[in-house]
Homo-oligomer: A and B are copies of this chain.
Protein backbone atom coordinates (compact mmCIF):
# COMPACT_ATOMS: atom_id res chain seq x y z
CA UNK A 1 0.00 0.00 0.00
CA UNK A 2 1.36 3.38 -0.94
CA UNK A 3 1.55 6.11 1.64
CA UNK A 4 -0.96 8.76 0.81
CA UNK A 5 1.90 11.23 0.76
CA UNK A 6 3.55 9.32 -2.06
CA UNK A 7 0.82 10.32 -4.45
CA UNK A 8 -0.63 13.45 -2.98
CA UNK A 9 0.11 16.74 -4.65
CA UNK A 10 -0.25 18.87 -1.54
CA UNK A 11 -3.62 20.08 -2.64
CA UNK A 12 -4.43 22.37 0.22
CA UNK A 13 -8.20 22.63 0.06
CA UNK A 14 -9.38 25.48 2.23
CA UNK A 15 -11.97 24.84 4.92
CA UNK A 16 -15.26 26.21 3.63
CA UNK A 17 -18.97 25.99 4.10
CA UNK A 18 -20.94 25.31 0.93
CA UNK A 19 -24.40 26.82 0.83
CA UNK A 20 -26.68 25.47 -1.92
CA UNK A 21 -30.02 27.07 -2.63
CA UNK A 22 -32.80 26.43 -5.14
CA UNK A 23 -36.01 28.41 -5.00
CA UNK A 24 -38.60 30.25 -7.06
CA UNK A 25 -37.03 33.34 -8.56
CA UNK A 26 -37.76 36.57 -6.70
CA UNK A 27 -36.08 39.96 -6.44
CA UNK A 28 -33.66 40.23 -3.56
CA UNK A 29 -32.53 36.67 -2.98
CA UNK A 30 -28.86 37.34 -3.63
CA UNK A 31 -28.96 40.54 -1.64
CA UNK A 32 -30.57 38.85 1.34
CA UNK A 33 -28.18 35.94 1.38
CA UNK A 34 -25.14 38.13 0.87
CA UNK A 35 -26.25 40.49 3.59
CA UNK A 36 -26.67 37.58 5.94
CA UNK A 37 -23.15 36.39 5.22
CA UNK A 38 -21.70 39.88 5.44
CA UNK A 39 -23.50 40.53 8.72
CA UNK A 40 -21.48 37.79 10.34
CA UNK A 41 -18.24 38.77 8.63
CA UNK A 42 -18.28 35.80 6.26
CA UNK A 43 -15.73 35.74 3.45
CA UNK A 44 -17.21 34.46 0.18
CA UNK A 45 -14.59 32.50 -1.75
CA UNK A 46 -16.75 31.33 -4.62
CA UNK A 47 -20.22 32.20 -5.87
CA UNK A 48 -22.39 30.88 -8.64
CA UNK A 49 -25.91 31.81 -9.61
CA UNK A 50 -28.20 30.41 -12.23
CA UNK A 51 -31.58 31.73 -13.20
CA UNK A 52 -33.73 29.35 -15.20
CA UNK A 53 -36.00 31.92 -16.78
CA UNK A 54 -38.43 29.46 -18.34
CA UNK A 55 -38.99 27.65 -15.08
CA UNK A 56 -38.77 30.83 -13.00
CA UNK A 57 -36.37 29.03 -10.71
CA UNK A 58 -33.21 30.33 -9.13
CA UNK A 59 -30.08 28.37 -8.14
CA UNK A 60 -27.22 29.59 -6.02
CA UNK A 61 -24.07 28.04 -4.61
CA UNK A 62 -21.83 29.98 -2.27
CA UNK A 63 -18.57 28.96 -0.65
CA UNK A 64 -17.75 30.78 2.56
CA UNK A 65 -14.46 30.54 4.41
CA UNK A 66 -15.37 28.61 7.54
CA UNK A 67 -12.97 30.48 9.80
CA UNK A 68 -14.53 33.79 8.84
CA UNK A 69 -17.93 32.79 10.28
CA UNK A 70 -18.81 32.60 13.98
CA UNK A 71 -20.90 29.48 13.31
CA UNK A 72 -20.53 25.78 13.01
CA UNK A 73 -22.77 24.13 10.43
CA UNK A 74 -25.57 23.48 12.89
CA UNK A 75 -25.61 27.07 14.11
CA UNK A 76 -25.48 28.25 10.51
CA UNK A 77 -28.62 26.23 9.84
CA UNK A 78 -30.45 27.77 12.75
CA UNK A 79 -29.51 31.30 11.85
CA UNK A 80 -30.29 30.89 8.16
CA UNK A 81 -33.57 29.01 8.48
CA UNK A 82 -35.83 32.12 8.64
CA UNK A 83 -34.35 33.47 5.38
CA UNK A 84 -34.77 30.10 3.71
CA UNK A 85 -38.41 30.02 4.77
CA UNK A 86 -39.04 33.53 3.50
CA UNK A 87 -38.00 32.52 -0.01
CA UNK A 88 -39.34 28.93 0.09
CA UNK A 89 -35.85 27.64 -0.46
CA UNK A 90 -34.76 24.07 -0.96
CA UNK A 91 -31.38 24.42 0.61
CA UNK A 92 -28.47 22.73 2.27
CA UNK A 93 -25.22 23.67 3.92
CA UNK A 94 -22.22 21.39 4.02
CA UNK A 95 -18.86 21.59 5.72
CA UNK A 96 -15.87 20.77 3.52
CA UNK A 97 -14.17 19.29 6.57
CA UNK A 98 -16.85 16.60 6.71
CA UNK A 99 -15.68 14.40 3.85
CA UNK A 100 -18.41 12.41 2.12
CA UNK A 101 -18.17 8.65 2.53
CA UNK A 102 -17.95 6.97 -0.88
CA UNK A 103 -18.88 3.35 -1.55
CA UNK A 104 -17.92 1.90 -4.93
CA UNK A 105 -19.90 -0.90 -6.55
CA UNK A 106 -17.89 -2.79 -9.14
CA UNK A 107 -18.00 -5.95 -11.21
CA UNK A 108 -14.92 -7.29 -13.01
CA UNK A 109 -13.80 -4.39 -15.23
CA UNK A 110 -10.86 -2.60 -13.67
CA UNK A 111 -10.46 0.71 -15.48
CA UNK A 112 -12.85 2.94 -13.54
CA UNK A 113 -11.87 1.51 -10.16
CA UNK A 114 -8.18 1.80 -11.00
CA UNK A 115 -8.60 5.41 -11.98
CA UNK A 116 -10.76 6.45 -9.03
CA UNK A 117 -8.40 4.84 -6.54
CA UNK A 118 -5.49 6.69 -8.06
CA UNK A 119 -7.31 10.02 -8.03
CA UNK A 120 -8.36 9.44 -4.44
CA UNK A 121 -4.77 8.77 -3.39
CA UNK A 122 -3.60 11.78 -5.36
CA UNK A 123 -6.01 13.96 -3.41
CA UNK A 124 -8.29 14.79 -6.35
CA UNK A 125 -11.48 13.44 -4.74
CA UNK A 126 -13.00 15.51 -1.98
CA UNK A 127 -14.26 12.45 -0.11
CA UNK A 128 -13.24 9.16 1.47
CA UNK A 129 -13.55 5.80 -0.28
CA UNK A 130 -14.73 3.66 2.63
CA UNK A 131 -15.57 0.42 0.88
CA UNK A 132 -15.91 -1.51 -2.36
CA UNK A 133 -18.73 -3.99 -2.94
CA UNK A 134 -18.40 -6.33 -5.89
CA UNK A 135 -20.22 -9.18 -7.57
CA UNK A 136 -16.91 -10.64 -8.76
CA UNK A 137 -13.78 -11.30 -6.75
CA UNK A 138 -11.23 -10.26 -9.32
CA UNK A 139 -10.77 -6.66 -8.19
CA UNK A 140 -10.30 -7.57 -4.55
CA UNK A 141 -6.54 -7.50 -4.71
CA UNK A 142 -6.53 -4.01 -6.17
CA UNK A 143 -8.76 -2.87 -3.31
CA UNK A 144 -6.45 -4.58 -0.90
CA UNK A 145 -3.42 -2.77 -2.20
CA UNK A 146 -5.13 0.50 -1.41
CA UNK A 147 -6.27 -0.85 1.99
CA UNK A 148 -9.94 -0.44 1.14
CA UNK A 149 -12.38 -2.97 2.62
CA UNK A 150 -13.69 -5.20 -0.15
CA UNK A 151 -16.98 -7.09 0.08
CA UNK A 152 -17.77 -9.83 -2.38
CA UNK A 153 -21.51 -10.37 -2.82
CA UNK A 154 -22.23 -12.47 -5.89
CA UNK A 155 -25.40 -11.95 -7.88
CA UNK A 156 -27.11 -14.63 -9.89
CA UNK A 157 -30.41 -14.85 -11.67
CA UNK A 158 -31.87 -16.74 -8.75
CA UNK A 159 -30.67 -14.71 -5.80
CA UNK A 160 -31.25 -11.15 -6.98
CA UNK A 161 -33.62 -10.10 -4.19
CA UNK A 162 -31.38 -11.45 -1.46
CA UNK A 163 -28.22 -10.21 -3.10
CA UNK A 164 -29.46 -6.66 -3.39
CA UNK A 165 -30.69 -6.79 0.19
CA UNK A 166 -27.14 -7.71 1.13
CA UNK A 167 -25.79 -4.82 -0.94
CA UNK A 168 -28.15 -2.46 0.81
CA UNK A 169 -27.13 -3.76 4.22
CA UNK A 170 -23.46 -3.39 3.35
CA UNK A 171 -23.92 0.12 2.02
CA UNK A 172 -25.74 0.99 5.22
CA UNK A 173 -23.09 -0.60 7.36
CA UNK A 174 -20.52 1.54 5.59
CA UNK A 175 -22.66 4.59 6.24
CA UNK A 176 -22.34 5.72 2.63
CA UNK A 177 -23.05 9.26 1.52
CA UNK A 178 -22.42 8.51 -2.14
CA UNK A 179 -22.76 5.23 -4.03
CA UNK A 180 -20.81 4.98 -7.28
CA UNK A 181 -21.59 2.30 -9.85
CA UNK A 182 -18.09 2.10 -11.32
CA UNK A 183 -19.05 -0.24 -14.18
CA UNK A 184 -21.16 -2.37 -11.85
CA UNK A 185 -23.29 -3.43 -14.83
CA UNK A 186 -26.29 -4.58 -12.84
CA UNK A 187 -29.75 -3.05 -13.02
CA UNK A 188 -30.49 -1.70 -9.58
CA UNK A 189 -33.88 -2.61 -8.05
CA UNK A 190 -36.40 0.26 -7.88
CA UNK A 191 -36.33 0.34 -4.11
CA UNK A 192 -32.61 1.12 -4.03
CA UNK A 193 -32.94 3.65 -6.85
CA UNK A 194 -35.57 5.38 -4.78
CA UNK A 195 -33.72 5.14 -1.51
CA UNK A 196 -30.43 6.52 -2.83
CA UNK A 197 -32.02 9.03 -5.17
CA UNK A 198 -29.64 11.90 -5.86
CA UNK A 199 -26.63 10.16 -4.37
CA UNK A 200 -26.18 7.05 -6.50
CA UNK A 201 -24.06 7.77 -9.57
CA UNK A 202 -23.62 5.58 -12.64
CA UNK A 203 -21.31 5.64 -15.63
CA UNK A 204 -23.02 4.52 -18.82
CA UNK A 205 -20.77 3.62 -21.72
CA UNK A 206 -22.58 5.61 -24.38
CA UNK A 207 -23.38 9.19 -25.20
CA UNK A 208 -26.93 9.13 -23.86
CA UNK A 209 -29.67 9.18 -25.02
CA UNK A 210 -28.00 7.20 -27.82
CA UNK A 211 -27.63 3.49 -27.21
CA UNK A 212 -29.61 3.01 -24.03
CA UNK A 213 -29.42 -0.41 -22.44
CA UNK A 214 -27.17 -3.34 -23.13
CA UNK A 215 -24.02 -3.47 -25.25
CA UNK A 216 -23.84 0.18 -26.31
CA UNK A 217 -20.51 -0.27 -28.09
CA UNK A 218 -22.05 -3.01 -30.20
CA UNK A 219 -24.92 -0.67 -31.01
CA UNK A 220 -22.52 2.16 -31.85
CA UNK A 221 -20.49 -0.11 -34.10
CA UNK A 222 -23.60 -1.25 -35.91
CA UNK A 223 -24.84 2.30 -36.48
CA UNK A 224 -21.47 3.52 -37.73
CA UNK A 225 -21.21 6.63 -35.57
CA UNK A 226 -18.04 8.71 -35.86
CA UNK A 227 -17.79 9.53 -32.15
CA UNK A 228 -18.42 7.33 -29.13
CA UNK A 229 -19.03 8.61 -25.63
CA UNK A 230 -19.83 8.06 -22.00
CA UNK A 231 -22.38 9.54 -19.63
CA UNK A 232 -22.26 10.02 -15.86
CA UNK A 233 -25.75 10.31 -14.39
CA UNK A 234 -27.78 9.87 -11.27
CA UNK A 235 -29.55 6.53 -11.10
CA UNK A 236 -33.32 6.56 -11.22
CA UNK A 237 -35.86 3.84 -11.76
CA UNK A 238 -35.91 4.57 -15.48
CA UNK A 239 -32.86 2.81 -16.87
CA UNK A 240 -30.30 5.26 -18.30
CA UNK A 241 -32.82 8.09 -18.05
CA UNK A 242 -31.55 9.76 -14.88
CA UNK A 243 -30.31 13.37 -14.72
CA UNK A 244 -27.03 13.71 -16.63
CA UNK A 245 -24.07 15.14 -14.71
CA UNK A 246 -21.32 14.91 -17.31
CA UNK A 247 -20.61 13.52 -20.79
CA UNK A 248 -17.75 13.31 -23.20
CA UNK A 249 -16.85 11.70 -26.52
CA UNK A 250 -13.90 10.45 -28.53
CA UNK A 251 -13.48 10.17 -32.29
CA UNK A 252 -13.58 6.76 -33.98
CA UNK A 253 -13.56 5.55 -37.58
CA UNK A 254 -14.67 2.60 -39.67
CA UNK A 255 -11.32 1.01 -38.80
CA UNK A 256 -12.25 0.42 -35.20
CA UNK A 257 -13.64 -2.95 -34.21
CA UNK A 258 -16.01 -3.39 -31.30
CA UNK A 259 -12.99 -4.27 -29.19
CA UNK A 260 -11.32 -1.03 -30.24
CA UNK A 261 -14.41 0.93 -29.27
CA UNK A 262 -14.35 -0.73 -25.86
CA UNK A 263 -10.67 0.06 -25.41
CA UNK A 264 -10.96 3.70 -26.49
CA UNK A 265 -14.21 4.08 -24.59
CA UNK A 266 -12.55 3.07 -21.34
CA UNK A 267 -10.46 6.25 -21.37
CA UNK A 268 -13.60 8.35 -21.79
CA UNK A 269 -15.57 6.43 -19.17
CA UNK A 270 -12.98 6.85 -16.45
CA UNK A 271 -12.58 10.57 -17.07
CA UNK A 272 -16.30 11.28 -17.27
CA UNK A 273 -17.03 9.31 -14.11
CA UNK A 274 -14.22 11.05 -12.22
CA UNK A 275 -15.41 14.49 -13.25
CA UNK A 276 -19.05 13.75 -12.44
CA UNK A 277 -18.15 12.33 -9.06
CA UNK A 278 -15.90 15.29 -8.22
CA UNK A 279 -18.72 17.71 -9.06
CA UNK A 280 -21.05 15.77 -6.77
CA UNK A 281 -18.55 15.58 -3.92
CA UNK A 282 -18.04 19.33 -4.04
CA UNK A 283 -21.81 19.92 -3.89
CA UNK A 284 -21.80 21.48 -7.34
CA UNK A 285 -24.70 19.48 -8.75
CA UNK A 286 -28.34 20.34 -8.15
CA UNK A 287 -31.04 18.13 -9.58
CA UNK A 288 -33.96 19.95 -11.11
CA UNK A 289 -36.58 17.69 -12.62
CA UNK A 290 -34.86 15.39 -15.08
CA UNK A 291 -31.87 17.68 -15.51
CA UNK A 292 -28.93 18.93 -13.49
CA UNK A 293 -27.54 22.35 -12.77
CA UNK A 294 -23.76 21.96 -12.37
CA UNK A 295 -22.31 25.09 -10.81
CA UNK A 296 -18.67 25.08 -11.85
CA UNK A 297 -16.31 27.98 -11.76
CA UNK A 298 -16.75 29.36 -15.26
Across the interface, which residues of B come within 8 angstroms of A11, CB to CB?
259, 263
CB distance from A87 to the nearest CB of B (A): 12
Give the size category of A's interface with B.
35 or more
Given A49-B47, A223-B244, A226-B246, residue A138 in contact with residue B30 (CB < 8 A):
no
| Cβ-closest chain B residue relative to A264 | B124
Flag the segment in A151-159, A169-177, A249-257 that touches B.
Answer: A249-257
Interface members, chain A 250-289 (any B CB < 8 Å): 253-255, 257, 259, 262-263, 266-267, 271
Proximity bits, A167-195, B CB within 8 Å = 1, else 0: 00000000000000000000000000000
Of the residues B44, B111, B248, B259, contact of A10 by C-beta under 8 Å = B259
**Chain A positions 1 through 18: 1 when the CB is less than 8 Å from some CB of chain B, otherwise 0:** 111001101110000000
Q: Which residue of B lies closest to A290 (CB)?
A: B224
- How many Å lie between the Cα of A224 and that of B38 in the bound state? 32
Interface residues of A in 182-221 (CB under 8 A from B): 207-211
Query: Taking the full assembly, how many copies of this chain does it contain?
Result: 4
- CB neighbours of A42 from chain B (8 A): 27, 31
Q: 12 other contacts beyond A2-B138, A28-B38, A30-B47, with CB at 8 A cut-off?
A: A2-B110, A11-B263, A30-B44, A31-B34, A34-B38, A35-B35, A46-B49, A50-B255, A54-B257, A223-B290, A224-B243, A226-B245
- Which A residues form the contact surface with B (CB < 8 A)? 1-3, 6-7, 9-11, 27-28, 30-35, 37-39, 41-54, 68, 108, 110-111, 114, 118, 121-122, 124, 138-139, 141-142, 145, 207-211, 222-227, 229, 243-249, 253-255, 257, 259, 262-263, 266-267, 271, 290-298
For the complex of A and B, list the 8 residue pairs with the smallest distance between their C-beta atoms, beginning with the closest: A31-B38, A298-B298, A224-B291, A34-B34, A296-B298, A226-B247, A31-B34, A255-B297
